[in-house]
């Protein structure tokens, strides 16, 4: 009887948690969601092999039932991770002669106009001397801050991995800065992964991804810091561009209900466009060891959203190669900084290693959800007291009923 009552209580309480399990998608969004996509990946599509030795452009197609997401990833000039949603059977067209000759404006196009597009760009890396141990980046013109423009960086394709038609992953490594090779023991690595289905990353912080998203992992390993910077920390300047007219991005901080997926971290950061069609998500945590464990982690900070100029994101970048004829007012361009480390963690030199993960995508992101296991634990936790009360009430009622029946027999 107790087991039956517990099952009834669980099924009674489960509907209260169903909204947490379900994703709150906007029915007005046109992008196909919650359906698996088939992924195909090509490097320098249709470029003669001997002509593209020093150039890398990754084209990832996420084929859905009614649309296609075309991802273009490149580290040339300004690292840019672009995607466009198009109709089925839309082809990517690249004029490689223009691309490789330097006359690359409008060298990349689509056979049909994209329905929507967006991009994330890495503008700069920073090293700053955190004299007061606050974790906050000082003003950019401060003597305690050094910036490294990504326009001066040359990256090499380190590895690529295509798991059938369900995922695609590529890793880039910084080879030199402004013509000077990176020390062989140092490493800055950026890995991009696109999936054709929904799930969570196998590595901490186990961010949720969708069939319309890209995961971006950053690794800063054994970097040589400026000698005068005794309290050196690292930071990144990011920019994002969307085909939404004159709308500003918003930074939201949501409080998680549990830390099941990311132990010790209860916050989820999200930057999203005004129409909620483009977003960037991350947990405010970075890892100081390849193990990525709660004991090898520290916090991080982000600045507010700011406007970025056309020159910052368009000058000789993938966006210029694609979008030179687009009117600037038809685009939204914003940026923000993220810095790694918080007060009391010993600065970058404590581990000489920092790893951080973010996810960016189209449509609605997956919000924080309870897993089935947590749902059952919570249901049982709430259900057991209810069962005890129910069984106790039934036992008392039965006892009272028997006593009253015995009293009646004695009176007779």
Question: In this predicted model, what pLDDT tens digit does every residue of 276-332 receive, in sequence order?
Answer: 999 999 999 999 999 999 999 999 999 999 999 989 999 889 999 997 556 666 789
Same domain flag for 318 and 396: no
The verdict on pTM exceeding 0.75 is: yes
Same domain flag for 134 and 196: yes
Mean pLDDT of 169-183: 95
Quote the pLDDT of residue 26: 40
Q: What is the 3-state secondary structure (H, E, C) of 1-67?
A: CHHHHHHHHHHHHHHHHHHHHCCCCCCCCCCCCCCCCEEEEEECCCCCHHHCCCCCEEEEEEECCCE
| Residue range(s) defining the domain that contains residue 12 | 2-20+373-411
Same domain flag for 93 and 142: yes
Q: Is a pLDDT exceeding 70 seen at residue 259? A: no
How many domains does the chain contain in total? 2
| Residues facing residue 161 across a β-bridge | 169
Same domain flag for 399 and 264: no
Give the gyration radius of the chain's Cα atoms. 27
- Looking at the chain, the whole-number percentage of residues with pLDDT higher than 90 is 65
Q: Is a pLDDT exceeding 90 seen at residue 266? A: no
Confidence class of residue 264 from pLDDT cuts 50, 70 and 90? Answer: confident
Confidence class of residue 180 from pLDDT cuts 50, 70 and 90? Answer: very high
Mean pLDDT of 370-396: 60
Quote the pLDDT of residue 30: 55
Same domain flag for 353 and 282: yes
| Cβ atoms < 10 Å from Cβ of 158 | 15
Quote the pLDDT of residue 265: 81
CATH of the domain at 197: 2.70.98
Which letter, b or e, does each residue of 63-86 get, where b requires 16 or more Cβ atoms within 10 Å of its Cβ? Answer: bbeebbbbbbbbbbbbbbbbbbbb
Same domain flag for 122 and 10: no
Same domain flag for 336 and 302: yes
Mean pLDDT of 22-46: 70
């Amino acid at each position: 009887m107790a087991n039956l009552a517990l099952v009834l209580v669980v099924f009674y309480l489960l509907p209260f948690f169903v909204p947490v399990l379900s994703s709150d998608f906007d029915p007005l969004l046109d992008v196909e969601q919650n359906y698996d996509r088939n992924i195909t990946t090509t490097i320098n599509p249709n470029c003669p092999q001997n002509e593209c030795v020093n150039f890398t452009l990754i084209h990832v197609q996420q084929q859905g039932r009614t649309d296609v997401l075309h991802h273009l990833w490149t580290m040339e000039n300004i690292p840019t991770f672009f995607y466009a949603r198009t109709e089925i059977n839309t082809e990517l067209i690249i004029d490689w002669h223009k691309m490789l000759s330097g006359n690359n404006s409008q060298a990349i196009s689509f056979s049909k106009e994209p329905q929507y597009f967006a991009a994330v760009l890495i503008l700069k890396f920073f090293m700053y001397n955190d004299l007061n141990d606050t974790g906050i980046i000082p003003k950019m013109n401060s003597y305690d801050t050094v910036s490294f423009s990504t326009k001066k960086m040359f990256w090499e394709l380190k590895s690529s991995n295509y798991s059938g038609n369900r995922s695609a992953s590529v890793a880039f490594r910084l080879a030199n800065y402004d013509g000077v090779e990176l020390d062989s023991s140092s490493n800055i690595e950026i890995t991009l992964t696109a999936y054709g289905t929904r799930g969570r990353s196998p590595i901490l912080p186990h961010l949720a991804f969708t069939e319309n998203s890209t995961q971006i992992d950053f690794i800063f390993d054994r970097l040589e810091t400026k000698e005068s910077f005794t309290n050196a920390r690292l930071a990144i300047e990011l920019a994002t561009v969307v085909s939404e007219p004159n709308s500003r991005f918003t930074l939201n901080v949501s409080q998680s209900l549990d830390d099941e997926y990311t132990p010790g971290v209860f916050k989820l950061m999200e930057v999203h466009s005004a129409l909620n069609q483009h977003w960037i998500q991350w947990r405010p945590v970075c890892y100081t060891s390849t193990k990525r464990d709660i004991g090898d982690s520290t916090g991080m900070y982000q600045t507010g959203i700011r406007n970025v100029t056309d020159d910052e994101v368009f000058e000789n970048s993938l966006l210029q190669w694609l979008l030179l004829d687009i009117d600037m007012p038809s685009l939204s361009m914003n940026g923000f900084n993220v810095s790694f480390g918080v007060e009391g963690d010993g600065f970058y030199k404590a581990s000489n290693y920092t790893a951080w993960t973010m996810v960016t995508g189209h449509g609605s992101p997956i919000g924080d959800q309870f897993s089935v296991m947590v749902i059952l634990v919570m249901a049982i936790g709430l259900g057991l007291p209810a069962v005890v009360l129910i069984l106790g009430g039934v036992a008392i009622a039965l006892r009272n009923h028997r006593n009253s029946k015995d009293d009646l027999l004695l009176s007779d």
